[in-house]
Each structure stands twice: as C-alpha cells, then as structure tokens.
Amino acid sequence: MGFLDTLLGRTKPVPPKLDALFSLPTAAITLQAAMEFTPTGTGSVCFRAAEGRAFHDIEAEVRELLSMGTDAAQVEVTRDSYGFTWLVCRHSSDDMEALVTDLHAVNTSLQDGGFGPQLLCTLVGFTDPRGRKLGIVYLYKRGTFYPFAPTTGEHRDNALELEVRGNIGSDLPIEPDLSRWFPVWGAPGL
C-alpha cells in the first residue's frame, strides 16, 4: 500500500497469481522419488463465492466446462463450514498435468469473470504407502505453496511438512512466512 492509499483509506483487491500452478507436476515427481508420496489424483480450488447473480452464473459455467472436457473429470462442489466453496476435480493419479490444467481452467474462468480476488487457494492431495496424507496448498495471492499434513483430529504433522519443504523447495516457490501456512482442516480431497 502506498502513502496515498493509506491517506485515502483504500485497498485494492489483490489479483491472483495463476501461472506458478504449472510447476506442480515437477514437484509431484520429486515428492514421489524422494519421499514416496504419490498424487491421489484429487485437486480442488477454494474460493469465496460472492453474492449475486453474476458470480452464480460464472460458477455454473465453470462446472459445465469441467464436466464437458475430453477426459471428463469428475467434478464435485462442496461448501465448507467457513462458507468457502471447494470445486473438487478427480483424475487418475498418474495424470497430474490434466489435473493442473483443470484447476487452471477454474481459475481463469473466475479471473476472466472479474472475480479473481475471490480465489483463496488450491489444494492437491498426496499420500504415501504408510497412509500419511499430505496436501500441497497454493496461495493465489502470494503465488507460493506450502505443505499441509493433517493427522488425526485437528493436528498437523509439522515435522513432515518441514521435510516436504526441504524436498520440493527447489521445484516450487515455498511460502517463507510460516504464519501463513494456515490449516485447511477437512478440506475435500485430502
């Protein structure tokens, strides 16, 4: 925020950064090689639905777009207890590229409709042979990623998260400010 923005009490809605998502497939390969974490094939986009007709139309459009695609991803829409909407896409677990393309399609539709600032995060699910769950969360406003590893209840495996950060740090821009690694409990697709 500039000086004038402060004086006049204005904040500009933050536009999302979309392109960094495409580095996810590389990171998925690294994760598999280094830590035996494989993609579950599930990814989701989380956004805050705005009220009114305009947003509703765009949301319907996005759903239609995804279910009409060539390899017809399964799309599911859920609302979490915070009022945020999650669009969940399912692909086969080895097709990370297709998943990322679908997620990107959701983002661009919202962005083109003028609702880019409503995007919160994207989450891609991973799991390892020991049954541990891991989500790689992409923060649209920061353009950075962070790992989220929920265990039982509302607890997270911080050691695993930091280990993941060490492994994929060179593939993805990792959020440096740990206080922004907020938990997404019960996120669909984890």
* Binding region for other proteins (CB under 8 A): 1, 6-15, 48-55, 81-84, 111-118, 120-121, 139, 141-142, 154, 177, 179-180, 182-183, 185
Phi, psi of 177 (to 5 degrees): -85, 105
Least distance between other proteins and beta carbon 171 (Å):
22
CB of 155 to other proteins, least distance (A): 10
Which residues are CB-neighbours of 169 under 8 A, at least 6 positions away?
none
In the complex, minimum distance from the CB of residue 134 to other proteins, in angstroms, rounded to a whole number: 19
CB of 84 to other proteins, least distance (A): 7
Rounded to the nearest whole angstrom, what is the least distance from the CB of residue 23 to other proteins in the complex?
A: 20
Distance CA 63, CA 56 (A): 11
Contacting residues for 4 by C-beta, under 8 A, at least 6 apart: none
Q: Are 96 and 22 in contact (CB under 8 A)?
A: no
Which residues does 9 contact at the CB level (< 8 Å), separation at least 6?
none
Please provide the DSSP assignment of 74-136 as one string.
Answer: EEEEEE-TTS-EEEEEE--TT-HHHHHHHHHHHHHHHHHTT-GGGEEEEEEEEE-TT--EEEE
